[in-house]
Amino acid sequence: MEKVGIVGVGQTKYERKKEDTFAELVFEATTAALADAGAEIGDIDNVVTVSNDFWDGRTISSMAVQDAAGSYNKDVSCVEGDGVFGAMYGMMRALSGSFDTTLVVAHVKGSEGNMNLITNAMFDPIYQRQIGIDATSSAALQARRYMEKTGATEEDFARVSVKNHSNGVNNPLAQIRKKITIDDVMKSRKISEPLKLFDCSPITDGAAAIVISNAKGVKRFKKDPIWILGASHLSDSYTLGYRDLAYPRALEAASKKAYAMAGITDPLKQLDVAELADAYSYMELLWYEGLGLSPKGKGAELIRSGATGMDGELPVNPSGGLLSAHPVLVAGLARIIEVTLQLRGEAGDRQIKGASKALAHGINGPCGQAHGVFVLGS
């Protein structure tokens, strides 16, 4: 396919921002991405915003931020879902030939909503919402199923939390910057069996933006592009009972497509760094398997080996991941930004030396129903 790259990135600090409006968050991320690209809004041909009416507490939520995203007199579209799917749509627009350059911006204020009520609404309205199921209780069902099928333990989940919280200490944008131990995780209060407080990501506010350009448009910008080598997204069944929650087949299929585009045959050896959507600690182990980083049922063995630590064969979530800051909707876009910074050598204290090929991943829906995968290279 035609070459498409990322030429600008911008993020707010991820925290609870009670004083900031949606528009202020979007404006901060947008101007940061433009400045990073050495560009002005006139260099952007179209805008894609990422938002959700439930999280924003209003209908047509994208309209509240379109002016802050610089979309005046431009073609603008909205994606309802995780930022990784907004980036996918932005990439498609750059590939279409209709636009050379695209700004993608995502925002959320989790602190202004009720996560349990909001995520309860993603389930079937007739049979499932009535029992009160939400993102966390459904994740607990998935975690238990995974434990029973593979033999993974709560201590294995805790290893993910310890690793990612330790990494988050080096990320100045992270909401939680705190080193913890396996014992700290195991003793933290139960949220939904078997998940404990430190197995769950925090409620976070923030925004992020990227500038995407095709080969024709990159001359408008000062930054050398980080090229998108492969990308794919797939969704599994909406109903939890129609899936094997212990294995992410949609992620496996999506990653295989992205790897084929990028020429990746052994991701554990050929990738230098990865940022995965670890909304709950056990998810990272599941995603290892779906991404082909470990054999099926062996994700726990990979975390035990230390291969995904900062000094391991493939560092995963050097930013601290979602366990250190989870701005819903923004999360996948932030993963793309983090690996872009890694490939530029601009990740500061969380930098992986010599990174030249990376993976970014985002999810949508209960228990990782839909997955988006990007492989990027410098």
DSSP string, 274-338: EE---SBHHHHHHHHHHTTSS-TT-HHHHHHHTTTSTTSSS-B-TT-HHHH---TTTHHHHHHHH
Q: 76: domain range?
A: 4-114+203-220
The interaxial angle of helices 83-96 and 331-344, nearest 10 deg, is: 70
Strand runs labelled E in 305-356: none
Per the listing, tokens 């991820």 go with 14
β-pairing, 46-50 vs 190-192, is unpaired
Nearest residue to 332 via CA among 363, 291, 367: 363
Cα 211 to chain centroid distance, Å, stands at 17
Name the β-bridge partners of 22: none
The dihedral formed by the CA atoms of 215, 221, 223 and 228, expressed in degrees to the nearest 10? -30
Q: How far apart are CA 253 and CA 236, in angstroms?
A: 10
pLDDT at 2: 83
Q: What is the pLDDT of residues 23-32, one digit of tens each?
A: 999 999 999 9
Residues of the chain under the 50 pLDDT cut: none
Residue with tokens 């939520």: 61
Largest CA distance in the chain: 56
- Evaluate whether residue 302 is within a structural domain: no
- Please give the pLDDT value at position 276: 98
pLDDT at site 83: 97
CA atoms within 13 A on the CB side of 143: 27
86 found inside a domain = yes
The alpha helices in 204-266, defined as continuous H runs, are 249-262
Q: Quote the pLDDT of residue 278.
A: 98
Q: What does the pLDDT read at residue 1?
A: 61
The verdict on residue 191 lying in a domain is: no
Asked if residue 307 belongs to a domain, the reply is no
Amino acid at 232: S
Q: What total of structural domains would you count in the chain?
A: 1
Q: What is the pLDDT of residue 175?
A: 98
Residue 61 lies in a domain: yes
Q: What per-residue confidence (pLDDT) applies to 18?
A: 86
Predicted confidence at residue 166, as pLDDT, reads 98
Which tokens in the block code for residue 252? 């496996």
- Pairwise CA distance, residues 103 & 213, whole Å: 9
On whether residue 21 sits in a domain, the answer given is yes
Please count the other Cβ atoms lying within 10 Å of the Cβ belonging to residue 144. 17
Cα-to-chain-centroid distance, residue 123? 21
pTM over 0.75: yes
193 part of a folded domain: no
Burial string for 355-370 (b: 16+ CB within 10 Å, else e) reads bebbbbbbbbbbbbbb
Q: What is the CATH number of the domain that holds 22?
A: 3.40.47.10
Residue 40 lies in a domain: yes
